[in-house]
Amino acid sequence: AQSVTQLGSHVSVSEGALVLLRCNYSSSVPPYLFWYVQYPNQGLQLLLKYTSAATLVKGINGFEAEFKKSETSFHLTKPSAHMSDAAEYFCAVTKAAGNKLTFGGGTRVLVKP
């Protein structure tokens, strides 16, 4: 069975500071990993995905994530937070393309001016 753990349900960062959101997964097979963002009252939007190509994945809005098999991690980072980054972020895993996603609990990001 697959599972995803996001450390920290809430993260507060200052505008311009580094954003780091942690995600650890467990999977019996090489996984596909995703980060989605959800803005208030909206659906989920894909930020980036890892599908066994490059381990450093760049996404939209300046976000990137690094797949580390030895640590079973897929942490999301952004060098400089912007006010518009305030949202909830979800890490997700699936074992096969087009298959069902298992989501982490989400991390809500607050950006302080």
Partner 1 sequence: DAGVIQSPRHEVTEMGQEVTLRCKPISGHNSLFWYRQTMMRGLELLIYFNNNVPIDDSGMPEDRFSAKMPNASFSTLKIQPSEPRDSAVYFCASTLASGGTSTDTQYFGPGTRLTVL
Interface residues with partner 1 (CB under 8 A)?
A: 32, 34, 36, 42-46, 49, 51, 90, 94, 97-106
Minimum CB separation of residue 49 from partner 1 in Å reads 6
Minimum CB separation of residue 90 from partner 1 in Å reads 7
Q: Which is nearer to partner 1, 17 or 49 (CB)?
A: 49
Q: Which is nearer to partner 1, 17 or 88 (CB)?
A: 88
CA distance to 24, 46, 47, per residue, from 85 (Å): 22, 14, 12
Strands 107-112 and 10-14: parallel
In 3D space, the residue among 33, 31, 56, 55 whose CA is nearest the CA of residue 46 turns out to be 33
Minimum CB separation of residue 103 from partner 1 in Å reads 4
- Residue 87 CB-density burial (10 A; 0-12 exposed, 13-18 middle, 19+ buried): buried
Q: Which is nearer to partner 1, 9 or 14 (CB)?
A: 9
